[in-house]
């Protein structure tokens, strides 16, 4: 008799445990406000990424087309992958002295792992991370970027 009792209680225990799970999925089936799907390309306008999100390295320029990069290559040294290459030149300052400045700030997006070490290393906050994340292009060459805009100069007072 105890065997039969155990058998029956086994069966009912099993059914109860199964019903508990079914109740949960049944709840989600009927409560559509729990749905968490984000319909990505549709919500592009409302999709706000946090300001710290690391999408790609950019160099902010102000309205006079001036940036803060001195060409010290600290970022180039900090980068683990050789993502950044800085080509320097010598500018003639107004007082006639030769002054080191950047010619091209080459940034290889395809090598970048967004580790943020270059931004940490930069002494003048000349580069920062942008919140873009759609990086796909049709030609790989487009991933090699020049960060300083043509004709840009270093801002006054930054050494």
For residue 22, state whether it binds other proteins (rule: CB under 8 A): yes
Pick the binder of other proteins from 1, 2, 5, 20 (CB under 8 A).
20
For residue 96, state whether it binds other proteins (rule: CB under 8 A): no
Give the integer Cα–Cα distance in Å for 77 and 96.
Answer: 30
Whichever of 106 and 115 has its CB closer to other proteins, that residue is 115
* Token pair listed for 14: 């099993």
Identify the helix (H) or strand (E) that includes residue 154: strand 153-154
Question: Which one of the spans 8-16, 64-72, 95-103, 139-147 is the region binding other proteins (CB under 8 A)?
Answer: 8-16
Which residue reads 């980068």 in tokens?
79
Shortest Å distance, C-beta 26 to other proteins = 7
Give the integer Cα–Cα distance in Å for 89 and 41.
Answer: 43
For residue 143, state whether it binds other proteins (rule: CB under 8 A): no
Pick the binder of other proteins from 58, 106, 111, 129 (CB under 8 A).
129
CA dist 16 → 2, 9, 20, 28, 98 (Å): 21, 10, 6, 19, 84
For residue 46, state whether it binds other proteins (rule: CB under 8 A): no
Give the integer Cα–Cα distance in Å for 80 and 64.
Answer: 33
Positions that interact with other proteins (CB under 8 A): 11, 13-14, 17-18, 20-26, 28-29, 32, 34-37, 39, 49-50, 52-54, 78-80, 113-117, 120, 129
């Amino acid at each position: 008799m105890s065997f039969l009792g155990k058998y029956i209680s086994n069966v009912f225990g099993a059914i109860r445990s199964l019903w508990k799970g079914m109740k949960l999925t049944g709840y989600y089936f009927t409560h559509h406000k729990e749905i968490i799907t984000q319909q990505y390309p549709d919500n592009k306008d409302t999709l706000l990424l946090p300001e710290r999100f690391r999408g790609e390295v950019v160099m902010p320029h102000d309205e006079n087309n001036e940036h803060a990069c001195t060409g010290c290559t600290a970022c180039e040294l900090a980068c683990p992958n050789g993502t950044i290459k800085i080509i320097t030149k010598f500018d003639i300052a107004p007082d006639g002295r030769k002054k080191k400045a950047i010619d091209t700030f080459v940034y290889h997006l395809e090598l970048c792992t967004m580790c943020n070490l270059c931004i940490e290393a930069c002494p003048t906050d000349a580069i920062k991370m942008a919140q873009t994340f759609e990086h796909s292009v049709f030609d790989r060459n487009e991933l090699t970027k020049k960060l300083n805009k043509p004709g840009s100069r270093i801002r006054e007072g930054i050494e």
